[in-house]
Structure 1
């Protein structure tokens, strides 16, 4: 496929990088904090670093007291799956007499230091841009129609809220039984609908023929 649609649980840097670089696929996947970051409550938080201005050309951030946080160093973290995330560390050297220090810095630190994953920030920006496009927004909204009802049916109608077995193979088998039950319900419902439609057509045709015979008589 050219487009992958998934919910925010799959909105990770690893997934964005893999889909974009390895498969050249457009990912319509919001990240976990996307909706929250767009809320007014978050945007009003002056000490939340996502709201701080960034000077791209000179590479520094501006804090709420208009002080510069200059680039300090590069660092990285490797997660349990071996995926490496690169960070840029920024530090403010003018925090000693800042009247906002107690609100801005937590703990006993003397200076404000922040870490930013610029690759992740770029992916976040890109996904916001993609989901704001009307055509892509239609694709994403279709997920709720195609996917969500299937899970709702499993939980609400079949009462399947959790697996009762362990190990991948047993879970695979149990899920297969549940999905077969779901498909049988669909098949039965469609046959019933088809039967009702046929009966309506039959009755309509019968009534029509009776009227024709009456008129001819």
Structure 2
């Protein structure tokens, strides 16, 4: 399954407009990020682990040795913040992203992406466009779940009704 930035990260427009976003920076042979001005973020600061325990997250923080001193792009890169830039890297998440990229670039992965958009998103398209359901009116998880179940029942009843009408026409013709 695609992750949230899968499609956008390779768009030329996105890369062009966000060249100071550290997620889009190139990596050197040692695996360190290199900013557009050529500074290498190789100075290890520390790492953080997630507190909730649901998912394994190891976030490593890096900074460059020069601490952005004399950089002509410092204002644009830091967006008005003072100090210098640090770059974080979620080791586990990057491994998952690399695996997803590898799987979706195969022929089978491309076919599965097509099938997913045809099968699942078609139903949501019908619910949004034909049934005019674009917003939940209830609050709370339980009430929202119940409202969505009612919409799904309506969708299934509509499909069943259309199926019956289609078969009645076949019986009348024969």
Output the TM-score relative to the length of structure 2.
0.78
Give the aligned partner of residue 65 of structure 2: 93
Q: Is this contact kept in 2: 1:72–1:91, CA < 8 A?
A: yes
1:167-193 per-residue CA deviation (whole Å, 9 max, x = no partner) reads 555444444443333222222211211
Report what 1:39 is aligned to.
11
SS for the counterpart of 1:64 is coil
Matches within 5 A, 1:23-172: 29-44=1-16, 45-57=18-30, 59-78=31-50, 82-94=54-66, 95-106=68-79, 107-109=81-83, 111-172=84-145
TM-fit CA distance, 1:122:
2.3
Deviations 1:26-54 (A, max 9, x none): xxx21212222111123334433234332
Aligned residues: 171
Give the C-alpha shift of residue 85 in structure 1: 2.3
Question: 1:181 — aligned with what?
Answer: 154
Assess if the C-alpha contact under 8 Å between 1:74 and 1:86 holds in 2: no
* Aligned residues of 1:74 and 1:89 also touching (Cα < 8 A): yes
Distance 2:58 2:14 in 1: 25
Is contact 1:68–1:92 with CA below 8 Å preserved after alignment?
Answer: yes
Taking structure 1 as the reference length, the TM-score comes to 0.65
Pair 1:191-2:164 in alignment: yes
Q: Which protein shows a greater Rg?
A: 1
Deviation at 1:87? 1.6
Secondary structure, aligned partner of 2:27: strand
**Cα distance between partner residues in 1 of 2:34 and 2:138:** 54
Helix, strand or coil: the match of 1:191?
Answer: helix
Conserved in 1, the CA contact under 8 Å of 2:43 and 2:65?
no
Aligned-pair Cα RMSD in Å: 2.8
Ranges in structure 1 where 5+ consecutive residues have no aligned partner: 1-28, 203-217
Q: Distance in 2 between matches of 1:173 and 1:39?
A: 38
